[in-house]
Amino acid sequence: MSEFAELKVDGNTYQLPIIEGTENEKAIDISKLRAESGLITIDPGFKNTGSTKSSITFLDGEKGILHHRGYSIEDLAEKSSFLEVAYLLIYGRLPTAEEFKAYKEEVTLHTLIHEDFHKILDGFPSAAHPMGVLSSLVTAMTAFYPKSLDPNRSWDEVNLSIIRIIAKMPTMAAFAYKNKIGHPLVYPDNRLDYTSNFLHMMFGLPSQPYDVNPAVSAALDKLLILHADHEQNCSTSTVRVVGSSQASLYSSISAGINALWGPLHGGANQAVIEMLENIKADGGDTKKWMAKAKDKDDPFRLMGFGHRVYKNFDPRARIIKKAADDVLDSLGVTDPVLDIAKGLEHEALNDQYFVDRKLYPNVDFYSGIIYRALGIPTEMFTVMFAMGRLPGWIAQWREMRENKEPIGRPRQVYTGETIRPYPGS
């Protein structure tokens, strides 16, 4: 393949370098186009725009491939723990046994949050959505650790900020939930592993020990792995853009949590279960809801279907679907919405509208069913996604900083009024 693409405009020819990634992905580099020609490119929603070169995650949407740092998501989901995957994403390689032991100890050392966080929590009404509470608590970390405000400090200091948020995220997530239901907070039990500790804080009571079911903990750990990174998605791009202004790690992550919250992104897991519940309450007529999803005058979309990048299948959805069956079996739970989900999936996969648009179940279609079986309330589903995505956000923030990327600042084509006289002048 040639090293340049040629663009001809008004009799002028511009040579645009072609760059190639390690998996042979090719891109036309237009970064100097405006300086040379005065032209910009336009691509609403960045559907065909690469914002960075990254060595963290490789994704092939046509083939349904997802790799982190060269390891397949299937291998990681089967063989790793979430904390190991976090290490892999953030530090670039899997830890040795000794490194991992030291890492776990370090994370464990920081699981508590400052008692003054309780005052912030107390200020939230019980109707507060836990995602809003979580993003506020993450921003509040800047107040408790003011040195974290400067991302240009030494690596050891930046790494301490990273360790702190990895350690405290489950504590803040569980506290957001306890505060919502008006129950007393349960402090971390540092004898437990990362995911079991979260379950202990979420479902335990201060007055009595809580026995974490290892099957539940293993299932949740796998779900966290499946959400750990997904290259330049909406929330990750948000984290990188916010961080590119040299805002702190915690402010960047908090922005990512807010971006994730929307129902077209991470909020879809809550929206899927609400949709399935609605269909059930409405008599379970999946055909009626399929027709609504296809009707362009109806804003309803089949939540949990479609993906910006995956156009054949979402490899995470395959793993999750199997995990959902395993979890329901092992816990002896029967969930009527699972049948509705399977019915909808079957119809959509055989429906011309969905086939033509390459709309397949995504990661969020079955994750909510597992969360429900594990006893996690619906409003906490997207918080689970945020806990899982945290290492990806951190790794991408770190990479953006280390690549010394410029501030994120897209251009536009102006379509408003041209200059006109001010009334009365």
Which residue in the shown chain puts its C-beta closest to ligand CMC?
Answer: 306
Note if 307 is an active site residue. yes
Among positions 95-134, residues that touch ligand CMC (CB under 6 A) are none
3-state secondary structure of 43: coil
Q: Which stretch binds ligand CMC (CB under 6 A): 33-41, 212-220, 300-308, 396-404?
A: 300-308
Angle between helix axes 363-373 and 381-402 (nearest 10 degrees) is 130
* Cβ at position 256, least distance to ligand CMC in Å: 12
Q: Cβ distance 66 to 57 under 8 Å?
A: yes
Among 228, 303, 340, 344, binds ligand CMC (CB under 6 A): 303
- Which residues, other chains included, contact 120 with Cβ-Cβ below 8 Å and sequence gap of 6+? 136, 137, 140
Among 231, 351, 364, 399, binds ligand CMC (CB under 6 A): 364
**In whole angstroms, how large is the CA radius of gyration of the chain?**
23
Give the 3-state secondary structure of 385-404: HHHHHHHHHHHHHHHHHHCC
Among 230, 240, 372, 401, binds ligand CMC (CB under 6 A): 230
* Cβ at position 310, least distance to ligand CMC in Å: 8
CA proximity to 81, closest of 272, 278, 219, 177: 219
Is residue 388 involved in binding ligand CMC (CB under 6 A)? no
Let me know if 402 is exposed, middle or buried by CB neighbors in 10 A (0-12, 13-18, 19+). exposed
- Show the DSSP H helices in 44-187 as ranges: 73-79, 82-91, 97-109, 117-122, 130-144, 155-181
Note if 129 is an active site residue. no
Is residue 319 involved in binding ligand CMC (CB under 6 A)? no
Which residue among the candidates 230, 307, 314, 351 is catalytic per the annotation?
307
Backbone angles phi, psi at 65, to 5 degrees: -105, 135
Q: Which stretch binds ligand CMC (CB under 6 A): 99-107, 193-201, 355-363, 413-421?
A: 355-363
Is residue 357 involved in binding ligand CMC (CB under 6 A)? yes
- Bridge partners of 14, per DSSP, are 7
Among 362, 367, 382, 396, binds ligand CMC (CB under 6 A): 362
User: Which residue, 29 or 298, is less far from ligand CMC as judged by CB?
Assistant: 298
Paired tokens of 396:
């991408």
Q: Cβ distance 64 to 72 under 8 Å?
A: no
* Cβ at position 2, least distance to ligand CMC in Å: 30
- Which residues, other chains included, contact 341 with Cβ-Cβ below 8 Å and sequence gap of 6+? 272, 276, 365, 366, 369
Q: Cβ distance 356 to 305 under 8 Å?
A: no
Is residue 305 involved in binding ligand CMC (CB under 6 A)? yes
Among positions 26-45, residues that touch ligand CMC (CB under 6 A) are 45
Binding footprint of ligand CMC, residue count (CB under 6 A): 21
The 175-194 site mask, x for binding ligand CMC (CB under 6 A), equals --------------------
Q: Which stretch binds ligand CMC (CB under 6 A): 119-127, 210-218, 277-285, 362-370?
A: 362-370
Contacting positions for ligand CMC (CB under 6 A):
45, 230, 233, 264-266, 268, 293, 301-308, 357, 359, 362-364
Catalytic residues: 307, 364
